[in-house]
Amino acid sequence: MISPVETWVAERTGLRDNLNPETLKKWQLGKLSALIQYACENTKFYHEKLHSTSDITELPFTSPSDIAADPFAFLAIPQSLVARVTTLANSGTTHLKKRIFFSKADLERTIDFFAVGMSTMVRKGEKSQILISNRTENSLGSLLKESLLRIGVTSEISGTIKSVNAAIEASKGGDCLIGMPAEMLYMSHKAPELRPRSVLLAADYIPQSLINGIKETWKCDVFTHYGHSEFGFGCAVDCDQHNGYHLRDADLIFEIIDFKTGKSAKIGESGEIVITTLSNEAMPLIRYRTGNISRFINTPCGCGSLLPRLGSIEGRISSYIPIGEGKVLSIHQLDEIIFADPNVRSFDASIKNDKVMKTLLLTVDSNGSIDLDSFSDKLPKSINVEVKYDKVDPFSHRAKRRINIVS
Ligand SMILES: [Zn+2]
């Protein structure tokens, strides 16, 4: 079945049977002109920064710190019309927080896209368990629940859960489980009998080794999603071919840039994902640097789609930690290596700095010892590794995965 996202893009753009990469690009550039005018007229930030152009690469970038410095400079509607505000920590700064504004229409577009994306993995009459977010009005979980209702799927938002046992209890009878990658892997080890029909991994980087682990234990289909609060949460979702994310092209323009030079990366080359919002009413964002690394896939998808897709997220620029000798280490590298061991249920990582050498401290929740020799081979030589074995329940400290720095 062709990805429902493609069908949705064809409908939303009005291109229908004429939808192809060229007609889509032309349609998006038409929308870009209107966006430039809207952002110039209605926001303090873009007021004098933009000029009319059909070449998006001529426009300046927007960075997360721009929003953190003055969120209201991006607000394009009266405050009385803001339906939701999300406050996010800004990686890279310790004290500034980003505030993201949504109008009612922005939230409605999110619900609309969620319904399309979720129809890839759920069937009418099924039940889903949402293990991310909370139950407050217009929360990510509530928007997801509303979208599922529209396609005949009931759902429950777990809300505050602080242990894997509570998550397992809440998930009994769920056909589709929606959760963070490391939490879902841990659950699959702890409760192999749950056997949901499908799983959607979201809200954090998704290592392929972890997808394989969940599939192996639960024998279910595992879907992945790429989203950002800044763009109304949902940006892209894979199809049943699991070969790249189908993009929310009717609302967003995606670019991949060389994060050092800022120039467009070649097709197939990895770089930073940059997104421009075409429809955001409350907070238009132009060439927003996400800090996430990926690449475009422009070969046809097995589902029949001919539009470019986004490859898996390869990392976050901010998560690379210098470890000496010009080398860097990230949680993404560690996840791919350590979760590839089928005995590993979960692990935490920290780096301890001392004067002589950096030490990587791993606390591993596993059925047996990890093969440290083969494992060390895959790490830079400049780093010492210490491993201890203990219970590591990711539900006890729910957050995006990172390497902690210990001094
Ligand atoms: Zn596809």
The pLDDT assigned to 381 comes to 77
Using the structure block, give the residue that is written with the tokens 């939701």.
Answer: 84
From the CA of 200, how far away is ligand 1's center (Å)?
16
The pLDDT assigned to 199 comes to 98
Q: Which helix (H) or strand (E) holds 357?
A: none
The pLDDT assigned to 383 comes to 84
From the CA of 211, how far away is ligand 1's center (Å)?
17
pLDDT-flagged residues of the chain (< 70): 90-95, 374, 378
From the CA of 243, how far away is ligand 1's center (Å)?
7
From the CA of 298, how far away is ligand 1's center (Å)?
11
The pLDDT assigned to 372 comes to 80
C-alpha torsion 95→101→107→110, nearest 10: -50
From the CA of 202, how far away is ligand 1's center (Å)?
18
Rounded to 10°, the helix 4-13/104-118 angle is: 140
From the CA of 2, how far away is ligand 1's center (Å)?
6
From the CA of 299, how far away is ligand 1's center (Å)?
11
The pLDDT assigned to 270 comes to 96
From the CA of 309, how far away is ligand 1's center (Å)?
8
The pLDDT assigned to 9 comes to 98
From the CA of 310, how far away is ligand 1's center (Å)?
11
**Domains in the chain, CATH or no CATH each:** 1-317 (3.40.50.12780), 320-406 (3.30.300.30)
Q: Which helix (H) or strand (E) holds 93?
A: none
What tokens were used for 268?
A: 């197939």
Taking a C-beta distance cutoff of 8 angstroms, is the pair 131, 171 a contact?
yes
Describe the strand order of the beta sheet including 252-257 as a list of residue ranges.
252-257, 271-277, 288-294, 315-316
| CB atoms closer than 10 angstroms to residue 77 | 18
From the CA of 60, how far away is ligand 1's center (Å)?
32
Looking at 249-376, which runs of residues are DSSP E strands?
252-257, 271-277, 288-294, 296-297, 309-310, 315-316, 321-324, 327-329, 344-353, 358-366
From the CA of 229, how far away is ligand 1's center (Å)?
24
From the CA of 311, how far away is ligand 1's center (Å)?
12
The pLDDT assigned to 91 comes to 60
From the CA of 9, how far away is ligand 1's center (Å)?
13
From the CA of 120, how far away is ligand 1's center (Å)?
10
C-alpha to C-alpha distance for 282 and 398, rounded to whole angstroms: 29
Residue of 18, 52, 46 whose CA lies nearest to 33? 52
The pLDDT assigned to 324 comes to 75
From the CA of 223, how far away is ligand 1's center (Å)?
12
Query: Which amino acid does the sequence have at 273?
Result: I
Over residues 258-276, the pLDDT tens digits come to 989 999 999 899 999 999 9
The pLDDT assigned to 92 comes to 52
C-alpha to C-alpha distance for 295 and 271, rounded to whole angstroms: 6
